[in-house]
Amino acid sequence: MNKISIRKVNPDELAVLRQISIKTFVDKFASVNSESDMDDYLSKNLSLEKLSEEYSNLNSAFYLAFADETPVGYLKLNSKEAQTDCRDQNALEVERLYVDEAFQGQKIGQKLFDKAIQIAKSGNFDFIWLGVWEHNEGAIKFYERNGFEIFGKHEFWLGKDLQFDLLMKRDLVRN
């Protein structure tokens, strides 16, 4: 069994972050989206320039998960004006949480999620929220098991394809 560790991304790890970001996104969504829509999304949202810009935002943070020394997943958190929707000053957004398919089933996603909850609680946020593709049933069930409830929906453009994300949140004041 691999030793799993999670740490905040350093500036010199942006290429590693990009690599795991692209791999996990393609593995998860390439089979249900066109190649042109995937290419468009990847070039606009996961380029080194875009990730560097997001990394430099003081209200965003990236975390990498490692199995031994191999990067196997990542987490992106947003607060304040960095949030993609909602923008409640007392909320923390999980914008991205992905794990390499080859390492799923080792509780890495749960460990990344637990890291997000720990950060949200230590930051005294009232709730944590996220958007999840309405057809990503496994992820929806994962978040429901972790105390999230659906509170809305928003548009998500993948290339030229309009899709919808369910907005889910977990109250941290009660939990």
Domain of 95 in residue numbering reads as 4-125
Output the pLDDT for position 173: 82
Does the pLDDT at position 175 exceed 70?
no
Q: What is the mean pLDDT of residues 139-153?
A: 97
117 occurs within a structural domain: yes
How many structural domains compose the chain?
Answer: 1
91 occurs within a structural domain: yes
133 occurs within a structural domain: no
Give the model confidence (pLDDT) of 85-123 as tens digits: 877 899 999 999 999 999 999 999 999 999 999 999 999
| Cα-based distances in Å from 174 to 27, 81, 125 | 36, 25, 12
The pairing of beta strand 149-158 with beta strand 127-133: unpaired
Angle between the 48-56 and 14-29 helix axes, to the nearest 10 degrees?
110
Does the pLDDT at position 154 exceed 70?
yes
Helices H / strands E in the chain, number of each: 5, 7
43 occurs within a structural domain: yes
Q: How many CB atoms lie within 10 A of CB 32?
A: 13
Q: What percent of the chain has pLDDT over 70?
A: 98
- Residues with a known catalytic role: 143
Give the model confidence (pLDDT) of 76-87 as tens digits: 999 999 998 877
66 occurs within a structural domain: yes
DSSP-derived secondary structure letter, 125 = -
169 occurs within a structural domain: no
| Cα-based distances in Å from 7 to 39, 67, 85, 101, 147 | 29, 12, 26, 20, 24
Bridge partners for 64 per DSSP? 7, 74
11 occurs within a structural domain: yes
**Residues 6+ away with beta carbon under 8 Å from 50:** 44
Q: What share of the chain is helix, strand, coil (3-state, %, to 5)?
A: 40, 35, 25
What is the domain-level CATH number for residue 52?
3.40.630.30
Q: What is the mean pLDDT of residues 161-173?
A: 96
18 occurs within a structural domain: yes
> Where residue 174 falls among pLDDT bands split at 50, 70, 90?
low
